[in-house]
Structure 1
Amino acid sequence: MWFWRAFSGNQRYHHSQGDAVDSHPHDIRIVEKSQTTTASMHLIGEEPLSIRIQGAPYAVVMRTPGDEKAHVAGFCLGEGIVDAPGDITNIAFCDGEDTNVVTVTLTADRRRRIADHLDRRTYISQTSCGICGKSIVADLVQALTPLTDAEALDGNAARERLLGLGELQPLRRQTRAAHAAAIYDPGLNLLSIAEDVGRHNALDKAIGQIFLDNRLPRAGLLTLSSRISYELVQKAARARIPVILAVSRPTALAVELATALNITLASLGKGDSLNVYCHAGRLVWPG
């Protein structure tokens, strides 16, 4: 039994700013043995997003269109461009609502504080290849303050939130190609959920949604559909989220960084168990 799928040139596209789901229906041919049938398949959208700071180009990321302002706000927090919503005077599209360019305007005080950062652009996520893991951890621990101990979470309930992440992903159900990030308060009430073709983008969007309306200090748990890389730990540290649960295992560097920054990391194990890699005391297991 084998099959082969090919995309035809027939395509329809629909996207309006802020849509929760961005997918593109394509006509395809499905060939199984000697039988050929036709069908329509939804593919996840992906377009460049140009992020400008004070009118100057800063970064271009590939992402699934939608939730751009939250995405850019979360990106700026993760990059160290802002520390608080009040550092931003405006986030705007450069040409109306249907655009792939977003510009951020900072307060005069914030511009002065990060002038060197914007000139050098040497934050860890921007560095070139060749830097070693120990240097990354050392530099980030200096740039990021380790988290203080937080209220312990019910481990069983937290695991259930992770197992239920797919139920919050309409784009994944439609395309089978979207990552997700969901943030909960210490009572495990949902604060934000975002999907994107990129796991970093999904996290930036989820963080940005609650950063802009000053709800980020309530964050107690982050669940991820992906593995945990050090960049995602870095973003969680900037957002002061103390516990990260993910479907897949973390990298060794992610565990090293989370250990240094006092962040709890765990992922799904066999039989829906949790593997806890560091700071296990934040998860309790009621009998």
Structure 2
Amino acid sequence: MASDLTRAVGIDIGGTGIKGGVVDLEAGELVTDRIKVPTPAGAEPPAVLEAVKKVLETLEVADSDIPLGVAFPAIVKNGKTLSAANVSEKWIGFEAEKFFEDGLGRDIHFANDADVAGVAEVRYGAAKGVEGLVLLTTLGTGIGSAMIYNGVLIPNSELGHLARPGKDKDAEYYAAYSAMEREELSWAKWAKRLQWYYSHLEFLFSPDLFVVGGGVSKHPEEFLPLLKLNTPIVPAVHRNNSGIIGAAALSLGAMPQLAQATAAD
């Protein structure tokens, strides 16, 4: 596949699955099938790298010079992963960007998975042109978050790990989509947990818009109407593809450059 400045590959590494696709950067849409493989048990670095290679091979871009962005479920600073909520603890303090670049034999752009989903929604989706503070949350294995103020991303917010007063477990354990599956909750019972979570975010940050992404965003009609908030709350336009699209978009430049371009649209 020929490389140009209008297409890039996005890889979205999650706690249960690793997804990828080739993205049209002008339209913000996948131009290939979305390829998904299971996240290896234990999610240690060598096994995750091999799974990413499998996705790239399936997309037929393993030997291409097409730009590549990788999204990962951890705090990411200067290419290093500083946390590991749903992957091996071996990622903590790990030079992840260099590890992937050496293993794949190419330059990449590496960032937090929820942050890149936020970039996708700012550039192409529900947060485009929205003034003020947008909080994007991804509801899946955990809860990821992206904070966007006047089109500019504030990285590594990690709002899924807010403490719950008097409880040992954080907001993510209580209200992620995985909690609904683990405890076999109905949509209505799960929505009560989300009501607490989004009301708490609303009190802390007074946002202008909530955007909900992650796998469960395919079913917004099941839970969003059950929430009573003062802040508008909408599903991510790109649903569970936001991570792929945002990672691809960031492959051509750093976050501030993209944010400035987005704010100028």
TM-score, normalising length from structure 1?
0.26
TM-score, normalising length from structure 2?
0.27
Q: Which has the higher contact order (CA 8 A, sep 6+)?
A: 2
Greater percentage in strand: 1
| CA radius of gyration, larger in | 1
